[in-house]
Amino acid sequence: MSDIQILINELVKFRDDRNWSQFHKTKDLALAISIEAAELNELFLWKTTEESELVDRNKLKEELADILAFSLLLAGKHGFDVKDIVLEKIKKNGEKYPIEKSKGTAKKYNEL
């Protein structure tokens, strides 16, 4: 069993022990990810680039954990293999952003 599957199993056990699966429909998990991402963004609100590098690491860690937890629950709910979908996306992005055109630039693929 992969480390990722172990995490998903632990999250599902935590959820099921509390009878929270009723609150974890696809829509709810997607919204939770978005809300937690907004909380992550809030850590950087009104900070300069330099100040943002000094953000409270504990708060950063907690918000990132929330995002990852809900993301893993959503992937598990739909039977996605996290490793496979991430590698698939890296491959797709590699085709959209070839090194020779995209290296060192933040331009979107359709502007390269």
Superfamily of chain region 3-80:
MazG-like (1.10.287.1080)
| Mean of pLDDT values over 65-89 | 98
Tokens of 35: 């809300």
| Mean of pLDDT values over 58-78 | 98
Quote the CA–CA distance of 111 and 63 in Å, as a whole number.
Answer: 33
Sign of the C-alpha dihedral computed for residues 31, 84, 93 and 99 taken in this order: positive
Does the pLDDT of residue 75 top 90, yes or no? Answer: yes
pLDDT in tens, 15-57: 999 999 999 999 999 999 999 999 999 999 999 999 999 999 9
Tokens of 38: 């907004």
Query: According to the model, what pLDDT value does residue 109 have?
Result: 87
Quote the CA–CA distance of 1 and 9 in Å, as a whole number.
Answer: 10
Quote the CA–CA distance of 68 and 88 in Å, as a whole number.
Answer: 18
Reduced to 3 states, what is the DSSP secondary structure of residue 2? coil
Query: According to the model, what pLDDT value does residue 65 have?
Result: 98
Please report, for the chain, the start and end positions of each structural domain, with discontinuous segments joined by +.
3-80, 81-112
Tokens of 4: 């990722």
Q: Flag whether the pTM goes above 0.75.
A: yes
Quote the CA–CA distance of 17 and 90 in Å, as a whole number.
Answer: 35
Query: According to the model, what pLDDT value does residue 95 have?
Result: 96
